[in-house]
Structure 1
């Protein structure tokens, strides 16, 4: 950094504002300027340099392109205030449209509501008193738009939609539980976290998703790898982080239509007979809720230092 500044002071420099571009640079052609326009041009440049660009792209005569992040030019962002930071916990599905049915004939909505309430309790205990539980009524598709409208009206800082996983119908096998016909699939297990590239703040959504997935992995949990496999057909999705299990899904209304950063957590598989038992246990529920709380606290710390956000 010191060397770059020294060279910057001695060599000719071309400075241009750069937006969020894939190559991080956006150059403008040079034009000859008449003496009459020199003063106005210098004033215009000064005004541009005072504006807050995301990056400064510098072309040093001897060193070539160098990118300095905005965070290197100003102090790191302040942490949020837990007392005013609002997280909306969206309970997946409704009492009228219960989602998947577990291997032991329990509706997904029951699992979702129980875990969401526990996460709400944990976040409030950690000082995030503005946490809101979002319960929606109605049939499947209409309820999706209802929950998006409700979340937007709450002016939340983050939204987290809570679900429990199953598999496509073609993968289900038959069995009986307590004398009732049911279905199961022990082929896959694990959590997964989804974001949408169509969310108005995809970058922040991805950051939060990676924190949640990272905390769950740190607790010894593994992510569901099947969503990256061709066998999933139309349910196959791009894996954005192969280390922690963050996927992209641009079809989820609750992720792409909300005004705030949003993620969807599939906490675990309830169609897998062994994992269903684990998801039903207080130990696993506490493990997940503490992972989410840790991720929110980390999210609220300064999110970038001198080298910018990860």
Structure 2
């Protein structure tokens, strides 16, 4: 199977794992993946953050890591149904340095890497509300998905192809990208490579930069939204 075909297929599978009710695509794909030279391709699914540094707290007080882990398991299941070999990175939520995370990914020698995250907003966009007696932050200003690639990844062009393939599948089902990461403000101002598909460059992201395979980071939605 060509890399272009694998990237396109992976985009479909990510859609199946991300959007409830969408079946894993195309009967008969599994034998094609299984018959790849060297066996089914490995796809690393990196679970963003960990149980110690849980990432952004949601509008209802839940750590981002838990959302990331649930979605990563869903995507991995869709990959397995399609005949790929998903490799979950840090499924136990151990505290990992970025260097150790990259080393773990590269040891699996994946054909592709997808790092799964949920989005947050800059502090000045946050408001507060009461949830079960707690005062928590929330923001309904932004919604939608975002996809990031590093142009310093050794396979930057293929990384961008992978991101576009995911974006095409998500937008085909009516999901919209979030464009707020391109705003010219502190903490954002990311180069927007494709406004229709929500693809950004974030060259310094260690996991994307250091992984040898084509790599994409998915921000699946804003966990600080009230809904």
Matches within 5 A, 1:118-129: 118-128=74-84
Residues 1:164 and 2:115 are matched in the alignment: no
- Count of residues in correspondence between the two structures: 194
**Partners of 2:97 and 2:160 in 1: CA distance:** 25
Q: Counting helix residues as a fraction of each chain, which structure ranks higher?
A: 1
Note if contact 1:209-1:263 (Cα within 8 Å) is conserved in structure 2. yes
Equivalent residue number for residue 219 of structure 1: 173
Match of 1:193 among 147, 154, 162: 147
1:123, distance to aligned residue in structure 2 (A): 1.0
Residues 1:89 and 2:45 are matched in the alignment: yes
SS at match of 2:163: helix
Residues 1:134 and 2:89 are matched in the alignment: yes
Equivalent residue number for residue 204 of structure 2: 251
Match of 1:115 among 65, 71, 90: 71
1:79, distance to aligned residue in structure 2 (A): 5.2
| Higher RCO, Cα 8 Å, sep 6+ | 2
Residues 1:266 and 2:219 are matched in the alignment: yes
RMSD (Å), alpha carbons? 1.6
Question: When the two structures are superposed, what TM-score results if normalisation uses the length of structure 1?
Answer: 0.60
1:122, distance to aligned residue in structure 2 (A): 1.0
**Partners of 1:228 and 1:79 in 2: CA distance:** 30
Where in structure 1 are there 5+ consecutive unaligned residues?
1-75, 275-310
Note if contact 2:177-2:198 (Cα within 8 Å) is conserved in structure 1. yes
**Partners of 1:245 and 1:144 in 2: CA distance:** 25
SS at match of 1:131: strand
1:170, distance to aligned residue in structure 2 (A): 2.0
Where in structure 2 are there 5+ consecutive unaligned residues?
7-31, 35-39
| Higher radius of gyration, 1 or 2 | 1
**Partners of 1:132 and 1:192 in 2: CA distance:** 22
1:143, distance to aligned residue in structure 2 (A): 2.3
